[in-house]
Chain A
Amino acid sequence: MFRENRKISSEETERHRGKSANETAADAFGWKKKVRKRIKGVCLFMLIFIFVPLMAKLAWMQSVEHEKYVKYAKGQHNGNNTIPAIRGAITDRKYVVLANSISLPTVQANPSIVKDKERASLLLSQILECPQDIIRAKLSIPGTFTYIQRKVSDDKAEKIKKLKDAGELYGVDVVPEPTGKRFYPKGNLGAHIIGITGLDDQGLDGIEAVMDPYLAGKPGSIRSEISRDNVTIPGGISAITPAEPGKNIVLTIDESVQYIVENSLRKAVKAYGAESGSVLVMDAKTGEILALANMPDYKSTDPKSKEYMMLTRNKCVTDAYEPGSTFKVVLAAAALDSGKVNINDQIPCGDIVMVDGWDLHNANDGFGGNATETITDIIAYSFNTGSVHIGLRMGLKIYYGYIKAFGFGDVTGIELPGETEGILPAMEDIKKIDLATMSYGQSISVTPLQIVSAVQGTINNGEQMRPTIIRQILDQDGNIIKDFKPEIKSRPINSETSFLMNKIMRNVIENGTGKHAKIPGYLAGGKSGTANICENGVYQKGMYNASFVGYAPAEDPKFVMIVKIEKPKGTIWGGSVAGPIFSEIGREILWALGIPPSFPNEINKMAGEQQEKTN
């Protein structure tokens, strides 16, 4: 109606303007044509500029980018569930577990979808026993992922899962970790040997670091279709890559011996007010390390503290020190083996000897010497001047050759990180005075391990074994993958010299400076050492390393042990400080190993005397 009226009115208007009806119809047709044309234009425009690009994009996505979008799609409905790889265990020689791992879940969240962050943080802080502020801060970060707490206990994980099932804690997930959490069931025992692992269960120090390629397993995965709630749809598993668990490492150390050593050393360091102490016990026949300890230990120390780094040092292998008189064992062995000194030779042994204008004298330890002494007494009473005469009689070339043959100046190759080769100057740099001081263990730096290894070679018929701390590598079923057999490293001296050295070293304990190292009921041999500590190129007054290296039983040695006490207060002499510790540890080890005493009456007599005193 309205249109008709409009038509009429337009016709009237046209008529009024003086146009005929035919003309008006023609105009209307032209207008319609124009409109159609415009519509066509718009459609064409849309087709060209909107639909064609859209189609092109679609074709591009379907053909060129097909794989990419398939991957996206699969990523959305397929999930990868990790199968944790358990790190191998570390055991002692009797397969007592010293370190092992257990897989524990991790709590993570998508902060962008957590609705009530205040309540979520409160609930999580209560379960995880963590301050609410920390969790609130974690949930407030921009982004879609944050760890709330890694490797939580199963109980805590279960509580969180229950809350999640009850509709709380939306956006918070409990997922398995690809690696486990490391546990040390024996606490600090063997801390410097075993080392530590990081948060991702990777080895950072000790055996954990050196044997990491064997210990670390390879996590596996289950690729499957997952539901909206991240639950595996049964039957939807497309691929399973099984996890490869790590290998177990069997050490040569003995838990009982290690325990004895650590306990005694801890007490001794405290008793002498020493800065630190180290003890290393080696099997006298095989070169296997039975125990190794440094005190103070570090596992109870805060990793962020300043002293932590210092305490993590395994001083038995990483720190070189001037060995002092314990090095006279090498001197005597070299002198006898080279034939430059015979066992009954009388060697000048006055109070002072002058070399290159330097006065070298005996230590003021209460043992006075005669004008001449035999090599046995020079070693027994640790005469420096006699040692200097022996060194000079041998000459640098021979002495240096033996020092090298015993392995000084080189790493022993033990499977522990950070081993140092010590400081052995090049032969051409050694002057006469250096040769003289090297004769009593100064002007040369060695590690406790090197000294123990040299003494082991000296008393084991001249066969020096390669020091080792790893016995076997086992798979998870206990099958041996690799067996570390004892191996002879070198033969620095012959068996006759070894026999003589055994006699000389026994005499040190029976009559000489090592009386305090005597193990009641047993025959033992050894050598004490007291060396002034050199810091920043200057010998520090009143600072000494007191050490004792020995073995027992002397008839058929079972172990070689070094005790080194750094900066003891009061008494400084190796025989008086380290000797009693050697005696105490040696006695306990022999009892623990079930070695019967050679002189049981001696033990009974001592016990009777003590009993009388008590009564």
Chain B
Amino acid sequence: MEVRIISDPMKADTRRREIKTSSKREVTKISEIYVCLAAIMLIGIMLLGGIYTNICAKNVQSQYRLEDLREEKAKLEKERLSLRLEVNKLSSLERIEKIAEKELGMAHPANRYILDMRNHSVLQASLTDIAAADSGLDGSRE
């Protein structure tokens, strides 16, 4: 290591000041870098924090949505059952009979007549016609 002895006190003082200034400059430079790094990190952390918060918020939001949907599903299922019950109530034979008799003025038939289709010639003929028409339709489809 080379050691230079400066005999002039003025020079020595200037030199000391220079060294001091340059070291000060270096320190400032380094600290600026650190500040920059810190700022970048801070921004990064803030960004990450923001993203994380956003994800969390969305997660909570979707959880709320899920809860709502679950409730909605239960509600709809209940509604389905209620409607099924209502349909069954409305289609009860007792109710239908009551409406038929009281509102529509219908009555149970006192006399019932039977038309025996097996021995009815006119009906037999029309049934044959229908059967023939049906087979014709089938043929045209082919």
Structural contact, A232 and B67, CB atoms closer than 8 A = yes
Let me know if A5 is at the binding interface, CB within 8 A: no
Structural contact, B85 and A604, CB atoms closer than 8 A = no
Q: Of B84, B93, B112, which one neighbours A255 at CB under 8 angstroms?
A: B93
Interface residues in B, total, Cβ within 8 A: 24
Structural contact, A521 and B89, CB atoms closer than 8 A = no
Let me know if A578 is at the binding interface, CB within 8 A: no
Interface residues in A, total, Cβ within 8 A: 31
Structural contact, B94 and A259, CB atoms closer than 8 A = yes
From B66, which residue of chain A is reached at the shortest CB distance?
A234
Let me know if A484 is at the binding interface, CB within 8 A: no
Q: Mark A600-615, 1 if CB is under 8 A from B, else 0.
A: 1101101110110010
From B81, which residue of chain A is reached at the shortest CB distance?
A102
Structural contact, B92 and A189, CB atoms closer than 8 A = yes
Let me know if B6 is at the binding interface, CB within 8 A: no
Q: CB-CB < 8 A to B64: which residues of A?
A: 234
Q: Mark A579-615, 1 if CB is under 8 A from B, else 0.
A: 0000000000000000001001101101110110010
Structural contact, A610 and B110, CB atoms closer than 8 A = yes
In the bound complex, how far is the Cα of B91 from the Cα of A70, in angstroms? 55
In the bound complex, how far is the Cα of B116 from the Cα of A521, in angstroms? 12
Structural contact, A186 and B81, CB atoms closer than 8 A = no
Structural contact, A607 and B112, CB atoms closer than 8 A = yes
Classify the secondary structure of B's interface with A.
helix
Let me know if B140 is at the binding interface, CB within 8 A: no
Let me know if B114 is at the binding interface, CB within 8 A: yes
Let me know if B126 is at the binding interface, CB within 8 A: no
In the bound complex, how far is the Cα of B91 from the Cα of A614, in angstroms? 34
Structural contact, A604 and B92, CB atoms closer than 8 A = no
Q: How far is the CB of A275 from chain B (nearest CB, A)?
A: 24
Q: How far is the CB of B63 from chain A (nearest CB, A)?
A: 3
Q: How far is the CB of A109 from chain B (nearest CB, A)?
A: 23
Structural contact, B88 and A597, CB atoms closer than 8 A = no
In the bound complex, how far is the Cα of B111 from the Cα of A97, in angstroms? 33
Let me know if A185 is at the binding interface, CB within 8 A: yes
From B117, which residue of chain A is reached at the shortest CB distance?
A596
Structural contact, A234 and B67, CB atoms closer than 8 A = yes
Q: CB-CB < 8 A to A600: which residues of B?
A: 114-116
Let me know if B59 is at the binding interface, CB within 8 A: yes
Q: How far is the CB of A89 from chain B (nearest CB, A)?
A: 9
Q: CB-CB < 8 A to B63: which residues of A?
A: 234-235
Q: Mark B56-69, 1 if CB is under 8 A from A, else 0.
A: 00011001101100
Let me know if B16 is at the binding interface, CB within 8 A: no
Q: CB-CB < 8 A to B66: which residues of A?
A: 234
Structural contact, A187 and B85, CB atoms closer than 8 A = no
Contacts A234-B63, A607-B113 known; A86 to B81 CB distance under 8 Å? yes
In the bound complex, how far is the Cα of B113 from the Cα of A611, in angstroms? 11
Let me know if B28 is at the binding interface, CB within 8 A: no
Kindly name the residue among A86, A101, A600, A610 whose own CB sees the greatest number of chain B CB atoms within 10 A.
A600
In the bound complex, how far is the Cα of B111 from the Cα of A96, in angstroms? 30
In the bound complex, how far is the Cα of B28 from the Cα of A464, in angstroms? 110
- Which residues in window 29-70 of B have CB below 8 A to A? 59-60, 63-64, 66-67
Let me know if B21 is at the binding interface, CB within 8 A: no
Structural contact, B67 and A187, CB atoms closer than 8 A = no
Structural contact, A183 and B85, CB atoms closer than 8 A = yes
Let me know if A576 is at the binding interface, CB within 8 A: no
Q: CB-CB < 8 A to B128: which residues of A?
A: none
Let me know if A256 is at the binding interface, CB within 8 A: yes
On A, residues with C-beta under 8 Å from B are 86, 96-97, 100-103, 154, 183, 185-187, 189, 232, 234-235, 255-256, 259, 521, 597, 600-601, 603-604, 606-608, 610-611, 614
On B, residues with C-beta under 8 Å from A are 59-60, 63-64, 66-67, 78, 81-82, 84-85, 88-89, 91-94, 110-116
Q: Would you list 20 pairs from A and B whose C-beta atoms are within 8 A, ordered by A residue? A: A97-B84, A97-B85, A97-B88, A100-B81, A100-B85, A102-B78, A183-B85, A185-B92, A187-B94, A232-B67, A234-B64, A256-B93, A259-B93, A259-B94, A521-B114, A603-B113, A603-B114, A604-B114, A607-B111, A608-B111
Q: Which 9 A-B pairs have the closest CB atoms?
A: A234-B63, A185-B88, A600-B114, A607-B111, A185-B89, A235-B63, A259-B93, A97-B88, A600-B116
Given contacts A100-B85, A185-B89, A232-B67, 12 further A-B contacts (CB under 8 A): A102-B82, A102-B85, A103-B78, A183-B85, A185-B85, A186-B93, A189-B92, A234-B67, A255-B93, A259-B93, A259-B94, A603-B113
